[in-house]
Amino acid sequence: MATGSSPARDRAKLLFANETFYRAFAERDVTLMSAVWAEEEPVTCLHPGWPPVEGRDSVLQSWHAILTGPASPDIECLHARAGIHRDTGIVICYERIGQDYLIATNIFIRSGDGWLLVHHQSGAAPEPGEGNAPPRRSIN
């Protein structure tokens, strides 16, 4: 844990980093998308239906294609849950794209006083219902 931080504050910063990732996606902001990904660590991405994308340049090229393409989807992040394991943060959430739902895992590393993304993976999921929706609290 960073000096002077509490677990609740660390979780809030991790969830903020996750929200920033989804804001970049929703607003089709290529510059912001680039800023959320780590530069000094290996990064990977598993887009639904794509082969694995490895390396920062390739990952950012994949996001550029998605964000600037004619079929760039509208997205909403739902039910984000965060867990922190030393300097690694994991956020699991649902993504709503139109009427479809995906479930995503976003892995971050601590960077200074914040968090940077090193891995994103999403895949098909059933619609979260009242009985099976994850709680809106953080996990640890």
Task: Give yes or no for residue 1 having a pLDDT over 70.
Answer: no
Task: Give yes or no for residue 44 having a pLDDT over 80.
Answer: yes
Q: Is residue 139 part of a domain?
A: no
pLDDT number for residue 10: 94
Q: Is residue 82 part of a domain?
A: yes
pLDDT per residue as tens digits for the range 3-18: 557 889 999 999 999 9
Distance CA 112, CA 95 (A): 28
Average pLDDT over residues 33-43: 97
pLDDT number for residue 72: 83
Number of domains in the chain: 1
Q: Is residue 135 part of a domain?
A: no
Q: Is residue 113 part of a domain?
A: yes
Distance CA 139, CA 124 (A): 22
Task: Give yes or no for residue 131 having a pLDDT over 80.
Answer: no
Task: Give yes or no for residue 139 having a pLDDT over 50.
Answer: no
Domain that holds residue 84: 7-124
Q: Which residues fall within 8 angstroms of residue 138, CB to CB, at 6 or more apart?
A: 11, 15, 81, 82, 83
Q: Is residue 66 part of a domain?
A: yes
Taking the complete model, does pTM exceed 0.85, yes or no? Answer: yes
Question: CATH number of the domain that 62 lies in?
Answer: 3.10.450.50
CB contact burial 29-68 (16+ within 10 A = b; e otherwise): eeeebeebbbeeeebbbbbeeeeebeebeebbeebeebbe
Q: Is residue 69 part of a domain?
A: yes
Contact 14, 84 (CB under 8 A): yes
pLDDT per residue as tens digits for the range 46-71: 999 999 999 999 999 999 999 999 88
